[in-house]
Amino acid sequence: MTDIHDCEGGHQQDPVRLISTPGQRRMVVLILRGAMDGLDAVQPYGDPALRTLRSTLSVGPQGGAHDLDGFYALHPKLGALLPLWQAGELAFAHAVSTPYRDKRSHFDGQDILEAGTTSRDRPDLTVKSGWLNRLAATIPGAMEVVPFACSTMTPIIARSESPFLTWTPATDLGLSHDDVTLMQHVYAPDGQLSAALDQAIAADLLIPPVKSGREDASAIATHLGKSGGIAVASIGGWDTHGSQAETLAGKLPEVADFVLTIKAGMAPEAWASTVICVVTEFGRTARQNGTGGTDHGTGSVAMFAGGAVAGGKVYGQWPGLGNLYADRDLLPTSDVRAWLGAVVHAHMGVSRSAVEGVVFPGVTLAGCPV
């Protein structure tokens, strides 16, 4: 670790977090840090305004995008997910956002997405209390699973005063096996420290951090393949102010790969009870800018994949690109937390009142993608 502040704009990749829960329900949240352009990932080519706002981006089926339903088309580089769409295991919710508006800061946006609150300054729900931890606290028997790779920067989504304080990941330990052996020798004369070190080794706390989205996905598949639970991972690098076409051509396959790696790493029964939610902190400007990119916006798209998804459908109310937020952004018509909340309720079995009162306070559950 050279610079732990190196998370500007979403290049940070957080370690995977895991909570095991009783039963067989599985939920994975993939956070796309840096604000993914929802209008490019799932292109509303049926909206005539799209072509006037964008000349080279979001070209629709003419540019190789895969038609989904006659109105929306999937970005060409997400084509690997088409079989899931056809199998009814892939859905989207379009024109979604957190309640965050106007300042369009990555940090605020990500904080609010992870805190699950309406603003980062709510005194009753500080950013320390991530929605994931509040969710875990509502599921009896939920247990922390020691993460296999850790960072001293704890994403807010995993922060909590209690009862998951020990879930706080410890480290970004790039210890080699030689280093670990060295520590065992140094601790040999001290029984108490030796025992603690052995526990840390047994908990996989000391091995080098997982680096790629695929490794994260495969680790998630391994852990969730065995039993029910919740996992959170992230992929950074979505801040496409310039050369968006080239950047997304590299990044979107990572998302498809993440999803397909989880599917491939699980037994079919486990996949059948899995929902992967892919969310981003906000969207990007509806208009293409002068550098082949887009700037910070508001509404974006959320994706749901997994055997438990009621897929083959793009959910959400389309606002029309003739009706932009602040004359620049896709107007959000639903709260992304309402969709996450719907998964938590309908799939993970948490009561509606707990979802609307504790996990995502103040939210009203949206229609259900599962």
Partner 1 sequence: MTAEDMTMIPHTTLDASAADLRAMADKLAALADQMRPLPPEPEPAPEPPLTAFGVRFGYGPAAATVPEAIADVQAIAALPPLVTQAEAQQFHVDYNANAGSDTRLWRERARDYRRAEVRGRISRGLTGLGVGNRLHSFWADHFTTLPKNYQTYPMQVSMTEEAVRPHIAGRFADMLKAADLHPVMMFFLDQVASAGDNSPFALSRPGTGLNENLGRELIELHTIGVAGPYTQDDVREASNLLAGMIYGAYQGVRYDVKRAEPGVETVLGVEYPDDSIAEIHRMMDDLARRPETARHLATKLAVHFLGDEPLELIDEMAAAYLANDTALVPVYEVLFSHRSWPGAKLRKPLDWMIAGLRALGVTPAEAEALPGSFIDAFILEPLGIMGQPWDGQGGPDGWPEQAEAWLAPNQLAARLDWAMTAPTALFTQLGRMLPDPRLPGLTDNTALWVGRAQSAEAGIAAMLTSPELQRS
Contact footprint for partner 1 (CB under 8 A): 1-2, 4-5, 121, 146, 150, 152-154, 166, 168-176, 178-179, 182-183, 185-190, 192-193, 196-197, 199-200, 202-203, 205-206
218 vs 1: CA distance, rounded Å: 23
Choose among 217, 42, 35: nearest CA to 112: 35
Q: Is 337 helix (H, G, I), strand (E, B) or coil?
A: helix
Nearest distance, CB of residue 183 and partner 1, angstroms? 6
Which residue's CB is nearer to partner 1, number 193 or number 249? Answer: 193
Cβ-based nearer residue to partner 1, 4 or 249: 4
- 32 in Cβ contact with 255 (< 8 Å): yes
- Shortest reach from residue 30's CB to partner 1, in Å: 24
Give the nearest distance from C-beta 123 to partner 1 in angstroms. 8
Shortest distance (Å) from residue 37 CB to partner 1: 28
- 19, 143 contact by CB (below 8 A): yes
Sign of CA dihedral 356, 357, 358, 360: positive
Q: Which residue has the tokens 């140094």?
A: 186
Please say which residue, 7 or 27, places its beta carbon nearer to partner 1: 7
> Whose Cβ is closer to partner 1: residue 81's or residue 149's?
149
Residue placing its CB nearer to partner 1 in the complex, 135 or 206: 206
- Shortest CB 168 distance to partner 1, Å: 6
Contacts for 61 with CB less than 8 Å, ≥ 6 apart:
45, 67, 73
Q: Decide whether 182 or 267 has the Cβ nearer to partner 1.
A: 182
CB of residue 341 vs partner 1: minimum separation in angstroms? 27
Instruction: State the nearest-atom distance from the C-beta of 266 to partner 1, in Å.
Output: 27
Q: Which is nearer to partner 1, 176 or 351 (CB)?
A: 176
Secondary structure (3-state) at 195:
helix
* Least distance (Å) between residue 27 CB and partner 1: 23
The residue among 49 and 153 lying less far from partner 1, judged by its C-beta, is 153
CA 21 to mean position of chain CA atoms: 19
Helices (H), 93-161: 106-115, 131-138
Q: Give alpha helix (H) positions in 188-241.
A: 191-202, 213-226
**DSSP state, 330?**
P
Rounded-to-integer distance, Cα 244 and Cα 12, Å: 19
Residues 6+ away with beta carbon under 8 Å from 249? 77
The type of residue at 61 is P
Burial of 101 (0-12, 13-18, 19+ CB in 10 A): middle
